[in-house]
Structure 1
Amino acid sequence: MSTQTKYDSSINNSNGPYYKDISYREAGKFEETRFEKIHNVIFKSSDYASIIIAQEIAGLIKEKQAQQESCVLGLATGSSPIKVYEELVRMHKEEGLSFANVVTFNLDEYFPMEKGNVQSYHYFMHEHLFNHVDILPENIHIPDGTIPQEQIHQYCIDYELKINSFGGLDFQLLGIGRTGHIGFNEPGSHYNSVTRSITLDHLTRSDAAPAFFGIENVPKKAITMGIGTIKKAKRIVIMAWGHKKAEVVKETIEGMVSSEVPASYLQRHENTTFVLDKEAAEELTRIKTPWLVGPCRWNEKNKNKAIIWLSQKVQKPILKLTDKDYNDHGMSGLLAEEGSSYELNIRMFNTLQHTITGWPGGKPNADDTYRPERNTPHKKRVLILSPHPDDDVISMGGTFLRLIEQDHIVHVAYQTSGNIAVSDEEAIKYAEVIQNMLPATDKENIGSIILELKRKQERMIDSESTRSLKGLIRRGESYGATRFLGLPDAYVHFLDLPFYETGTVKKNPYGPEDKKRLTNLIKKVKPHQIYAAGDLADPHGTHKVCLDVLFEVLNDLREEEYMKDCWVWLYRGAWQEWDIHDIEMAVPLSPDEVLKKRKAIFFHQSQKDGVMFQGDDSREFWVRAEERNQQTAEKYHKLGLAEYEAIEAFKRYHF
């Protein structure tokens, strides 16, 4: 690929400069539309997209080396660029990529913030990049969170002058926050703003809260490069990964330039590329409603998506949609192909109706032609995978109960210990109960844990024994819930995957031992069904890692005879439900089943009332689960289907 991606500004259209370099087009999905005002490419995988970005940076470094010039990089922090830095480190170690001519300027830093603090961006950059490459220490520039308050103004001026002294930024790497911030330029930032001190938005602090073990520990201020500083970069690449970024990505790329979405200022930069994974791109018009963009390829997925969208748009049940409704909303091409709205409506109604089943393991002795699951074998071996010790009951507690009551052989496996989500106060409470039950001669070990917790300073990592106690608390709660649902203890498994056991929000990459533990369990159970969390919006990433481990294991085992008859159903976690057009199995719940599901969730007492990692949603998990399931049922009803109390939804994964 070319080392520096450029626009050919001599060719213009309604979307601004024409994108000349085709490297990103070849690697990802690119398509210009009248809605989009920033060039963007979409990749199936954020990991692969990160490699492409790293290759562009490496190419620029080499080009500058050949010209005997410094390569001046503006760098970002947060979860988005981690894989980019990993690939750059790999290139340095395996391919000899040198950083000797590289000068870096980081976007921002919390204030106040000590450099050695694990939450500092100084620590982050050295941990992920600088400690592993041959960059000269004097070429590293990161805003200093220890500057005295009265010196910040002059310090920011000097930071700007330092950037200018190197001729400005050759390349600026950006992520985007859910407020639309780039760097820490929060809503309201001026397009000509420079490096300065800024007060952080509540949503930004809320998103950072898991890393700081609570929003109360997140600094309220930061030092950040300004919008004007960023816009002077010769080349800008901005990344967005995951469902949680989809709304702000659409606003940034398709909306008006506004200080309320600071990233939208990049519409006025002539060499910017937005690099997205498919989840972050899902709200873009060309992805969500391609029939509004231009001629649409009417495959079954787009037909289903469009008809459901139309029904919701005009607020009519599917069977009441008319030819006029289709024509008025950009779907005349679909009518031309199919002939009439009547036929389309009937087919879509039947498709949705066939997703609904009260028999998630298949109904015995029934025609399964139009059912989501097979009727044979009737007694299926089922493996439910739960990333944390409560995801099973939160996300599919009603289905879990049905599978047990309908006489399937159900196993549940908790993939991680979940220990980090147990508060110190909760752990002390349990430890003191244990201490009071022990004879005096045995109190020492538990007493040391209590003392550690009471003396624990902010953001200290728990000792192994304390993490063990917290894991046992989660384990006991899990047994309480599964026993309540009627599952024998022998069918409950705790994998305690090693990648999770860091004692911090940041986890290790998964490795062979993680895969081995899951592989051994699948080989033991030989399941006909696997239920797994397909929720990639998990705020601390554990769901995604657990899913990645599963996908690798499935790929490794795909030739095993028993796997040829195994179906994988993905559920969503507490943050988001499948879109209706994605749902392939919908399990309705009665009011009594909803109540029983709620009681099962209540067994996870350490996660009730004071949830540590709940994102920006203040509702408890059981409330979110119930309201989400009720909303799914309501959506089905508004589309013209039967009215249910609640519905749990699943999408099949084909491997």
Structure 2
Amino acid sequence: MSIQPNFSQTELAFIKESNQKENNTLTPYITVDNFPKLGLITACRFLEWVSCNPDGVISLPTGKTPEYFIKWTKYILENWDNQRGKEIRKKYNLDKCDKPNLRNLTFVQIDEFFPISSRQANSFFHYVNKFYIEGFGLNPENAILINSDEIPLAGGRHFNEVFPKLHVDLTLRFREPNDDLEKIQQESIYLIDKWCGEYEDSIRAKGGIGFFLGGIGPDGHIAFNTRGTHMYSATRLTETNFETQAVAAGDLGGIEVSSNRLVITIGLESITYNPDAVAIIIAAGEAKAQIIKDSLESPLNNIYPATSIQKLKNGRFYLTKGAAIKLTDSLDSYYSEGEWTWEKTERAVMSLCKKLKKYGDRLKLEDLKKDKYTAMIPDLSENTVEKVMESIIAKMKKGTERQSNEVILHTGPHHDDISLGILPQITTQLQENSNEAHFSVLTSGFTAVTNTFIIDTLLHTKKLLDNNEIQMVKYDDFFEVGYKLKTDKDVYHFLTNVASENHNQRLRGLCHRIVRAIVGIYEVKNQQSLRETINDLISILRNSYDGEKNPSKIQKLKGMVREFEEELVWAHFGVQVKNVHHLRLGFYTGDIFTEQPDKKRDVEPILELLRKVKPTILSLTLDPEGSGPDTHYKVLQATAEAVRQWNEEENLENFRIVGYRNVWFKFEPFEANVIIPVSLGDMSVMEDSFANCYLSQVNASFPSYAHNGKFSTVAKRIWVDQLQDIQLLLGKNYFYLHESAKVRASHGLIYTKDMNVEEFLTHARELEKSIEGFI
């Protein structure tokens, strides 16, 4: 049964601002424009609640999701009585509240990996202490925390002794131990279970959680209550599923670690025990849209753990518009409000094809009139579907046009973003000799390289040095200038041995580049020093825990591995190293919360590249909500500012910007204006180049939650799915009987958005406004 919304004054202000009219879901929700704004509404509601409950019990999330919640909370408190603070408080109905005092709040830690040392910076215990206890000025004596180092185990032992490989076998709860170590482990598991029960008791003794804030996982989990969790679950030691392990891989240093680690989590009943609790789930981006629809429009259901929030009169979802895009309310508002656009017609007709599982040419006028959305189309007629088909065909025609005499600068936030996003389009551009192509990855990307990969590569490099198989170190000038020269040769050597399938020689090409990088970074002057430096690096990495932030020089070394990989990909098509630009923007630091782009440090390098290359076409990832990885939207803002400044210097009337999306954030066909056919050959080139060049990524230590494997496979599946959507409208025969071989060969499609400068800057401007307080 639906609970009638009882919104607070702050919530009402945001509802008014977003012009939200409908709220017909089983749990009330509020939408905002973008990810940073999600932090603002959450901070305001939190401070409103604390003002009325200064001795209350709170439970707040960890990870990257609460970045803007934390920043806005501190910002508002620090500026409470100045002009800016007063403006924010008045706008969002906080002006009647007393300034909150957070000191006497009781903090409840939501979850933790187990086992993990509380001293590790990637433990949630460390996060909570740094950002909430210290960051918010809470009283640590009031905190109810999960410290793995202090949870009692058999004989007073430490978890490193009880679980030497950090693996906990929960089958010991129900079976006989096989040896003495398993007896100790079984006793320890029972002690952990006892501790979890006491943890739950300590929360309930306080009356339960009064203010809960949490994100939602791709499978719908809240805290670590994954799909299938019982609605009355309490604090416990438990396993996780693949989707959760994939999301946690970034925290723990790889899926190899996260899949081997259990968690301690509060339960769904822990969250809803206090009937007066304010429980808020936040979600951003279209990638979460389906699980949000399922969680908000389904009755209480253990398949969707977040439906448990329905039990609370003050349960809420705060969503970006992208995350809410599939809600029935959102669809009704989209179609009924404002002027009717051609985009709405396209979307309504294509959605009806899916709903009825009918090809476009089989849709009858009667079908359109019966559907509540297509029935709204102005001048609805027998020709409506045909016009939509013509519109999509025009987009496909644009996607098959050959470009010539263009200077094209392809950019990506991370290495492999460009390839996974639009490689088939790029190969066509590179086949035209009159085009000049450049590639630039804007961050170092070192966080995607595991310690294990670098250790293995360094060990192999040592072996090659010992066997005198790295000849270049013997040249007299190598340690002075030679290490900087002939980098194209490393690339050529590597790819030649890809062709000959000589794995060892291919690996030798990588080791050559590793040697060059080490000499440059550590200013090595001779072979002996080179060996000593390699030994030191191996020692440092072996003594680092998985997921630990590396020293800056090791970060740079990892980044240069990724840069080499990117050079290899584009060398497949004859692109020289000098046309692959590595910008290494400074905001990318490997910290849990990276800085906002700085106009000098981060914008100037992009602007200089634009001035140098003078592109006529610029490609970039387009995430207007700021809901993908934080690197994406920070790069978008830096690029937008660089384009804005360049536009003031040059006449960019004919300059085009191509927005693409990849495995993180996808276009719908009605949003895109260019549709590019993808052949099996294109897919094969993409998969092969990924597997052969992105060596640090082949084992998928940081996989997508959608696939336990390489990102190239995820990209290919997206392209195939996008073809199926268009096939349902145009019919399969449109493709296999087409006059163009390129269209006949289509087994996937890519969607992009072609924009002029003003259109692009408009996309970026709204996101910029939402984070002005921090820039």
2:17 corresponds in structure 1 to: 27
Residue-by-residue CA offset, 1:33-52 (whole Å, 9 max, x unaligned): 55x11111111112112112
Query: Which residue among 201, 216, 228 is the counterpart of 1:176?
Result: 216
Runs of 5+ unmatched residues, structure 2: 82-98, 153-187, 475-526, 737-742, 762-775
The residue identity in structure 2 corresponding to 1:624 is V
Q: Aligned partners of 1:612 and 1:269: how far apart in 2? A: 38
Structure 2 residue 448 is matched with structure 1 residue 448: no
| 8 Å Cα contact 2:441-2:581 kept in structure 1 | yes
With 139-148 and 595-604 compared, the bigger mean Cα shift is at 595-604
Q: What pairs with 1:383-462 in structure 2 (closer than 5 Å)?
A: 383-406=409-432, 407-428=434-455, 430-431=457-458, 432-433=460-461, 435=465, 436=468, 437=470, 438-439=473-474, 440-441=527-528, 442-454=530-542, 456-462=544-550
| 8 Å Cα contact 1:72-1:168 kept in structure 2 | yes
Task: Give the SS at the match of 1:410.
Answer: strand
| 8 Å Cα contact 1:526-1:562 kept in structure 2 | no
Residue-by-residue CA offset, 1:556-580 (whole Å, 9 max, x unaligned): 5554443444332221223554222
Task: Give the SS at the match of 2:383.
Answer: helix
Query: Which residue among 128, 146, 155 is the counterpart of 1:143?
Result: 146
Task: Give the SS at the match of 2:118.
Answer: coil
Q: CA deviation at 1:177?
A: 2.2
Q: What pairs with 1:296-307 in structure 2 (closer than 5 Å)?
A: 298-307=340-349
Structure 2 residue 251 is matched with structure 1 residue 211: yes
Task: Give the SS at the match of 1:88.
Answer: helix
Task: Give the SS at the match of 2:395.
Answer: coil
2:385 corresponds in structure 1 to: 345
Structure 2 residue 334 is matched with structure 1 residue 245: no
**Superposition CA RMSD, Å:** 3.1
Query: Which residue among 753, 767, 770 is the counterpart of 1:651?
Result: 753
TM-score (ref. length: structure 2): 0.73
Q: Aligned partners of 1:347 and 1:224: how far apart in 2? A: 53
Structure 2 residue 81 is matched with structure 1 residue 91: no
Structure 2 residue 357 is matched with structure 1 residue 315: yes
Structure-2 change in CA distance of 1:422 and 1:184 (3 Å): closer
The residue identity in structure 2 corresponding to 1:328 is K
Query: Which residue among 521, 524, 543 is the counterpart of 2:609?
Result: 521
Structure 2 residue 394 is matched with structure 1 residue 354: yes
TM-score (ref. length: structure 1): 0.85
1:193 corresponds in structure 2 to: 233
| 8 Å Cα contact 1:143-1:224 kept in structure 2 | no
1:5 corresponds in structure 2 to: none
| 8 Å Cα contact 2:619-2:660 kept in structure 1 | yes
Q: CA deviation at 1:93?
A: 3.3
The residue identity in structure 1 corresponding to 2:388 is M
2:700 corresponds in structure 1 to: 611
1:586 corresponds in structure 2 to: 675
Structure-2 change in CA distance of 1:19 and 1:515 (3 Å): same
Task: Give the SS at the match of 2:126.
Answer: helix
Q: Aligned partners of 1:126 and 1:275: how far apart in 2? A: 25
The residue identity in structure 1 corresponding to 2:735 is A
Task: Give the SS at the match of 1:524.
Answer: helix
Q: Aligned partners of 2:352 and 2:297: how far apart in 1? A: 21
Structure-2 change in CA distance of 1:448 and 1:55 (3 Å): same
Structure-2 change in CA distance of 1:554 and 1:99 (3 Å): farther
Q: Aligned partners of 1:183 and 1:426: how far apart in 2? A: 31
Which structure features the higher share of helix residues? 2
The residue identity in structure 2 corresponding to 1:354 is A
Q: CA deviation at 1:81?
A: 1.8
Task: Give the SS at the match of 1:228.
Answer: helix
Structure-2 change in CA distance of 1:102 and 1:631 (3 Å): closer
The residue identity in structure 2 corresponding to 1:345 is V
Residue-by-residue CA offset, 1:246-275 (whole Å, 9 max, x unaligned): 222111100121122221021221112210
Task: Give the SS at the match of 1:355.
Answer: helix
Q: CA deviation at 1:75?
A: 1.9
Task: Give the SS at the match of 1:581.
Answer: coil
Q: CA deviation at 1:28?
A: 3.1
| 8 Å Cα contact 2:610-2:646 kept in structure 1 | no
Q: Aligned partners of 2:541 and 2:57: how far apart in 1? A: 45
Q: Aligned partners of 1:50 and 1:619: how far apart in 2? A: 32
Q: Aligned partners of 1:214 and 1:325: how far apart in 2? A: 49
| 8 Å Cα contact 2:700-2:709 kept in structure 1 | no
Q: Aligned partners of 1:631 and 1:20: how far apart in 2? A: 40
| 8 Å Cα contact 2:214-2:280 kept in structure 1 | yes
Structure 2 residue 102 is matched with structure 1 residue 60: no
Runs of 5+ unmatched residues, structure 1: 1-13, 365-377
Structure-2 change in CA distance of 1:16 and 1:95 (3 Å): closer
Q: CA deviation at 1:585?
A: 0.7
Greater relative contact order: 1 or 2 (C-alpha under 8 angstroms, separation 6 or more)? Answer: 2
1:76 corresponds in structure 2 to: 61
Identity %: 21
With 40-49 and 611-620 compared, the bigger mean Cα shift is at 611-620
Structure 2 residue 115 is matched with structure 1 residue 112: yes
Task: Give the SS at the match of 2:299.
Answer: coil
Structure-2 change in CA distance of 1:80 and 1:463 (3 Å): closer
The residue identity in structure 2 corresponding to 1:571 is Y
| 8 Å Cα contact 2:628-2:665 kept in structure 1 | no
1:17 corresponds in structure 2 to: 4
| 8 Å Cα contact 2:587-2:598 kept in structure 1 | yes
Q: What pairs with 1:240-639 in structure 2 (closer than 5 Å)?
A: 240-288=283-331, 298-331=340-373, 333-334=375-376, 337-340=378-381, 342-357=382-397, 379-406=405-432, 407-428=434-455, 430-431=457-458, 432-433=460-461, 435=465, 436=468, 437=470, 438-439=473-474, 440-441=527-528, 442-454=530-542, 456-502=544-590, 507-512=594-599, 513-534=601-622, 541-555=630-644, 557=646, 559-575=648-664, 577-607=666-696, 609-616=698-705, 617-639=707-729
Q: Aligned partners of 1:317 and 1:240: how far apart in 2? A: 34
With 149-158 and 79-88 compared, the bigger mean Cα shift is at 149-158
Task: Give the SS at the match of 2:753.
Answer: strand
2:506 corresponds in structure 1 to: none
Residue-by-residue CA offset, 1:108-153 (whole Å, 9 max, x unaligned): 2233332222222221122223223332221222233331244445
Q: CA deviation at 1:160?
A: 4.2
With 382-391 and 129-138 compared, the bigger mean Cα shift is at 129-138
| Number of residue pairs aligned between Structure 1 and Structure 2 | 619
Task: Give the SS at the match of 1:110.
Answer: strand
Task: Give the SS at the match of 1:480.
Answer: helix
Q: Aligned partners of 1:544 and 1:251: how far apart in 2? A: 27
1:223 corresponds in structure 2 to: 264
| 8 Å Cα contact 1:380-1:527 kept in structure 2 | yes
With 486-495 and 147-156 compared, the bigger mean Cα shift is at 147-156
Task: Give the SS at the match of 1:356.
Answer: helix
| 8 Å Cα contact 1:244-1:537 kept in structure 2 | no
Q: CA deviation at 1:413?
A: 0.6
| 8 Å Cα contact 1:382-1:409 kept in structure 2 | yes
Query: Which residue among 121, 126, 130 is the counterpart of 1:127?
Result: 130
Q: Aligned partners of 2:412 and 2:454: how far apart in 1? A: 22
| 8 Å Cα contact 2:30-2:318 kept in structure 1 | yes
2:518 corresponds in structure 1 to: none
Q: Aligned partners of 1:456 and 1:403: how far apart in 2? A: 44
